[in-house]
Structures are given as structure tokens and as C-alpha cells.
Amino acid sequence: MSTEKSVWRRAFEWHEARLPLVSFIDNSVGSKYPAPKNLNYFWNFGSLAGFMLVTMILTGIFLAMNYTPHKDMAFDSVERIMRDVNFGWLIRYMHANGASFFFIVVYIHIFRGLYYGSYKAPREVLWWMGILIFLAMMATAFMGYVLPWGQMSFWGATVITNLFSALPIIGEPIVTFLWGGFGVDNPTLNRFFSLHYLLPFVIVGLVVFHIWALHIPGSNNPLGIEAAPADKIPFHPYYTAKDAFGLGVFLLVYFAIVFWYPNILGDPLNYVVANPLVTPTHIVPEWYFLPFYAILRAIPDKLLGVLAMFGAILVLFVLPWLDTSRVRSANFRPWFRVFFWLFFINGLVLGWCGSQLPEGLPLVLGRVCTFYYFFFFFVIMPVVGWMETPKPLPASISSPVMKAAE
Amino acid sequence: MANMAPAHTPESTGADGETRRDFLLHTTVAFGAVGTAMAVWPLISSMNPAADTLALSTTEFNLGGLQEGQAVTIVWRGKPVFVRYRTPAEIEAARNTPMNDLVEPAKDEDRVKKGKEKYLILVGVCTHLGCIPLGTKAMDARGDFGGWFCPCHGSHYDTSGRIRKGPAPENLKVPPYQFLDDTTVRIG
């Protein structure tokens, strides 16, 4: 091989010395980012979430080229996208189902963080950035759901904006301000469209902070112990290859829904144009809001219900201090592990309660599960941390493997 | 494949110096590139005219109300189309023009329908940069050749809509059209 550098190589190095763009990517998610060698498939969901963010922004940009944010034209413009625009049906189904899959991925990502203690020192700010992304996602998804201007869009917007009316004194003025009128109307639709386009780029910014904060301590791992340099491997090609494989499996599921069951996750009532004079008999949010919706309805007081619902997410901010255990991975915490899986099932049951009419069994169950939701954070997290005897931690990531080999 | 070299590890090289790992890398990248292209295609395609836009591509017009020497502008695909009932003098001027005087030589006979030579139908978009030339309304400037004059950059068209002077490179376009009966024309 010649020792002379090619002209391309020299041009690349000249540019890189002035703006190290490729080095930046390589340091962030490339060969210069050392990651623990024992990451399991639950660690795929970060890059999957990034993939979904890009997919949502891309499909959204092309949908916006054919969408009209006006109360008299929005519904018809969406139908035109479905019928007349080339591949409009595909782009819209990718976007609508993409929201669901984005949430599936992010929920798994959050539960992975909970199980393996990824929120604990020194990753608290990384965890905060994640919660901010989650909150921004919920706002974006809610406003996006209003845009087709169907019955569920309209009444979902009405109910959710009215949550703020629970606040004493300032509640009513805030709701009027959010609407830009005396009810959900054309000004509301206009601003929701504007913000729905803006917020994803705010999320991109938050993702940059999320990844930046990740790189200070580096990735957590299934054992939850510090990874020694010898126990790390370069992100590229090892985890890029693993993430690419996971992406392929994920895309099979995502597009199976997009192509064969595109409306399975949506409410058929949203194919009826919004009518401000008729409320549907049973209104429910999209599935990803159901657990929080169940918490709202479990509490028989308007203000307390709203506070509990927002509190259910805000409590995550103080989670690093509620958890008194210094052991990260639940694999070494026999008691916490039980309560964690109870919490997971509790979340599913809450979701089911949220989808039912708030009476009889769903209401009682919703209240029991709401109690456990907060009990888990405020009692189990601190108490189990004190009382539990964790299993002995391995000295390093390699040592259990080495011992087994002996 | 069974008769190939034994101990074919991922790093072992074939005759051409390529390892199996290189082969896997190249096929993966190739599949990824094809997949990305297939994913981008629907997005790009969605920017082309939609089915309802294409469905607007014909316009019918009744020529019955048009007087000799008069011209009107009608809308076809969101763009102006000039319809002019030419006087015999205008037709004669168009037919007697020597081909050598034309930027884009075209016979007047080829720009109208046989038997309907008095009706000149043109897309009213200047071939320079897309402005609408003057000359359809009675009081408009018609340029040096009695046809149309584009005020944007000074292109002059004659009574057959052919470019005679100015920066426009081509004659005004003749849209596809047919006469449905004596006085009804369908454009598109």
C-alpha cells in the first residue's frame, strides 16, 4: 500500500481540521464511543426512539405540504391526503401509527431505565432530559391528534384543555388563552398546527442534551456496575450492527400494522368530522395516554384528579432521590424486582381502566392501581432500599464469566 | 460450495483478496441503500400532482359569444389560455410571414385547426419567465407585430403567437384541444 495520502483523504482531513463533523458523529455514536460489552436487547430502544423521531419529522413535513389547518378544510384535506395525494395513505398511516410505535419504544426505554436503575447517580440529569422529552412527546402527540379535526380530535382537545380550568382563579383565563376564543375553534386549530410542527424540533434539541448527558458517565449496563475500560467495546461497529438488526425486526412489526391493520390503534369516531354541538357518548384518549387518564378519573375531585395526573409524571423527576438503594440493577434486588413487575402490570391494568367507562369494576380497580402507582414511588422506593439485602455484585463485567470458565 | 477451500473463517481471503466479512458488509450496505431509496420514493412522489389536481386538466369553452377581432382569457389547469377570433387581415399577416423572420419557425396552419383558422388558442404564459403577455384586452399594447407583448421583459409575439422580438426563446404554446361541435372547444 502506498504511504501517499490520496487527494480525497487530504481534502477530508483539511475540512475535518476546520469543522470536525465526522469526528463529532464518531465520538457520539461511532467507533470512539466505548460502550459496555454486556448490553442486552433492551438497550436497542434508545436508537429506535431516535429512528422514530426522524421518521415522524420526515413524514410530518410531507403531510404538512398537503394539510390545511382550517376548521372548515382540515378534515377534507386529510381525506384528500388519503385518496388523492400520491402515497398519501402510506405517509399518513406511517405518521399516525408511528406515534403509537414511538410511544411503545419510549415506554420500553423508560421501563428499562427503571429496571436497571439508569436514573441513579451519576445519571440524574440524563434521566431528567428523558422526562422532558417524554413530556414534549405527549404535548406533540396530543396536538397532532387534534389536526384531523374529527370528533375525537375536537372533544379530546376540549377535555384536555379544560384540565387547566381545575386550577383556582387562574384556571378559566388560562383555558381561554389556550383556545384563543370561547371554545376549541379555528384559532385553537391554527396554533396547535404551529406548535405541532415546532415541538419535534425542540425534542431534537432535548435529544442532543440527552445524548450529551449520556456521554459524561457512559451507558449503564444490565449489571448496573461501573464498566471498566477493558469491559467496553466501540459503539461502531458492535452496537450499530446490533441496533441495525433490532431495527429490522422492529420495522417488520411497525409496517405489518401500517400495511394490514392501519386503523387498529385509532378510534373510528375520528373519521366523523368535528361537531361542536354533539359530544360522543364514550370519549377516550389514544392508548398511550390511558394510564394517566385512569389516574385522572380515579380521584373524585376535579383539582386533585388533575394534580394526580400531572404528578404521576412529575414524580419521575425526584425518583433518583426517592430510591434509597445504591444498587442499580434490579437483577441484584430480589424485593425490588417483585415490586417492579407489579408496577409494570399495574400500569397495564391502569391502561385498561382508562379505556372503560368510569363506573363499577374499572373505577374501583382504577383507584386501587392509582394508589399502588404512588405507593410504589413514595413508599416502596425508599423503604425497600433500606430493608432489602441485595445480592453480591460482581467485581467487574467480565468476572462472572471468568469464574464460570474456571 | 462444499468443494471450496476448507477452514473458511470470516477473515479468510478469497482469490480476489476479499474477505467474507467484506462481502457481508457490502451486501448489508447495498440492501440498506436500496431500502432507503424505496422509503424516500413515496415521500418524493407525494409532491407530484395529486389525483384531484390531475382531474382538473380539461376545460370546455363556448366560442359562440366571441366577436371578430375579440379575444378572451380562460383558465385551464390554473393557468390563462388565450382564445382569439382573428380578423382576415391578422390571419393573412401571420401566413405571409417568411419563415426566415421567425426565431422558432412554425407555420400558422400548424398552430390552428383546419377549417377553424379564425380561432387562435394559446397558453397565455410567456416562454421567457412565465409572465402573462398583454394583448388580449381591447386596449392592451400588442407589441410591434400586432399579437401580444410581454411587459415583464419586452417579448413581442405576432398574430399567430410566435416570438418575433425580445428574450423569449419559443413561440407561445398551443395547448391540446379539440372542437366538440361548431362552437364548443375542449382544452386539455
Mean pLDDT over each residue of chain B, to the nearest integer: 89
**Is A298 near chain B, with CB under 8 Å?**
no
Q: Does the pLDDT of residue B109 top 70, yes or no?
A: yes
The hierarchical CATH code for the domain B54-187 is 2.102.10.10
**Can you say whether residue B120 is alpha, beta or left, with left for phi > 0 and alpha for psi between -120 and 50 degrees?**
beta
Return the pLDDT at B2: 45
Does residue A25 lie within any of the structural domains? Answer: no
Which range among A145-159, A333-347, B2-16 shows the weakest confidence by mean pLDDT? B2-16
On whether both A96 and A207 belong to a single domain, the answer is yes
Q: How many C-beta atoms surround the C-beta of residue A73 within 10 A?
A: 13
pLDDT tier, A297 (very low <50, low <70, confident <90, very high otherwise): very high
Question: In this prediction, what percent of chain A has a pLDDT beyond 90?
Answer: 95
Does residue A7 lie within any of the structural domains? Answer: no
The pLDDT of A384-396, averaged and rounded, is 94
- How far separated are the first and last CA of chain B, in Å rounded? 61
> Residue A47: exposed, middle, or buried by beta-carbon count in 10 A (0-12, 13-18, 19+)?
buried
| Closest alpha carbon within chain B to A86 | B46
The per-residue pLDDT for range A210-245, each reduced to its tens digit, is 999 999 999 999 999 999 999 999 999 999 999 999
**Is A259 near chain B, with CB under 8 Å?**
no
Query: Of B28, B32, B50, which has the smallest distance from its Cβ to A85's Cβ?
Result: B50
Amino acid present at A281: T
Q: Does the pLDDT of residue B13 top 70, yes or no?
A: no
Q: Which residues of A touch B45 (CB under 8 A)?
A: 86-87
Q: Does the pLDDT of residue A344 top 90, yes or no?
A: yes
Return the pLDDT at A262: 97
CA A245 – CA A93 distance, rounded (Å): 24
Does residue A239 lie within any of the structural domains? Answer: yes
- Residue at grid coordinates 385509532: A266
On whether both A93 and A198 belong to a single domain, the answer is yes
**Is A87 near chain B, with CB under 8 Å?**
yes
**Is B38 near chain A, with CB under 8 Å?**
no
Does residue A14 lie within any of the structural domains? Answer: no
CA dihedral B43, A56, A155, A302 (to 10 degrees): 180
- Closest-CA distance, A90 to chain B, in angstroms, reads 8
CA A151 – CA A149 distance, rounded (Å): 7
The per-residue pLDDT for range B24-83, each reduced to its tens digit, is 889 989 999 999 999 999 999 999 999 988 887 788 999 988 988 899 999 998 899 999
Contact residues for A398 (Cβ-Cβ < 8 A; gap 6+): A230, A231
Closest CA to A317 of A160, A163, A126, A45: A126
- Which of B36, B43, B47 is best to mutate for the A interface (most A CBs within 10 A)? B43
Query: Of B32, B43, B52, which has the smallest distance from its Cβ to A84's Cβ?
Result: B52
Active site residue A391: no
**Is A77 near chain B, with CB under 8 Å?**
no
Q: Does the pLDDT of residue A2 top 80, yes or no?
A: no
On whether both A230 and A313 belong to a single domain, the answer is no
Q: Are B74 and B57 in contact (CB under 8 A)?
A: no
Which domain CATH number covers A60?
1.20.810.10
DSSP secondary structure string, A341-404? HHHHHHHHHHHHHHHS-SSSHHHHHHHHHHHHHHHIIIIIHHHHHHH--PPPPPSSSSHHHHHH
Active site residue A109: no
Boundary (domain end) residue, out of A245, A279, A313? A279
Does residue A162 lie within any of the structural domains? Answer: yes
Does residue A29 lie within any of the structural domains? Answer: no
Closest CA to A156 of A138, A132, A135: A138
Boundary (domain end) residue, out of A279, A298, A322? A279
Q: Are B121 and B83 in contact (CB under 8 A)?
A: yes
Q: How many C-beta atoms surround the C-beta of residue A167 within 10 A?
A: 16
Instruction: Please say whether the dihedral angle defined by the alpha carbons of residues A382, A386, A387 and A393, taken in this order, is positive or negative.
Output: positive
Active site residue A242: yes
Query: Of B42, B52, B53, which has the smallest distance from its Cβ to A90's Cβ?
Result: B42
Q: Does the pLDDT of residue B118 top 50, yes or no?
A: yes
Q: Does the pLDDT of residue B136 top 80, yes or no?
A: yes
**Is B53 near chain A, with CB under 8 Å?**
yes
Query: Of A83, A91, A244, which has the smallest distance from its Cβ to B46's Cβ?
Result: A91
- Structural domain for A58, as ranges: 34-279
Which domain CATH number covers A327?
1.10.287.980
Q: How far is CA B89 from CA A170, B69, B92, B144, B156, in A?
A: 80, 10, 5, 15, 18
- Closest-CA distance, A252 to chain B, in angstroms, reads 13
Q: Report cis status (omega within 30 of 0) of the bond before A122.
A: yes
- Closest-CA distance, A184 to chain B, in angstroms, reads 30
On whether both A274 and A323 belong to a single domain, the answer is no
Active site residue A301: no
Q: Which residues of B are catalytic?
A: 153
Contact residues for A296 (Cβ-Cβ < 8 A; gap 6+): A163, A305, A306, A308, A309
Q: Are B129 and B155 in contact (CB under 8 A)?
A: no
Q: Are A88 and B46 in contact (CB under 8 A)?
A: yes
Return the pLDDT at B1: 41
Whether the predicted interface score ipTM is above 0.90:
no
The pLDDT of A55-60, averaged and rounded, is 98
Domain count, chain A: 2
Catalytic residue (choose from A71, A77, A242, A329): A242
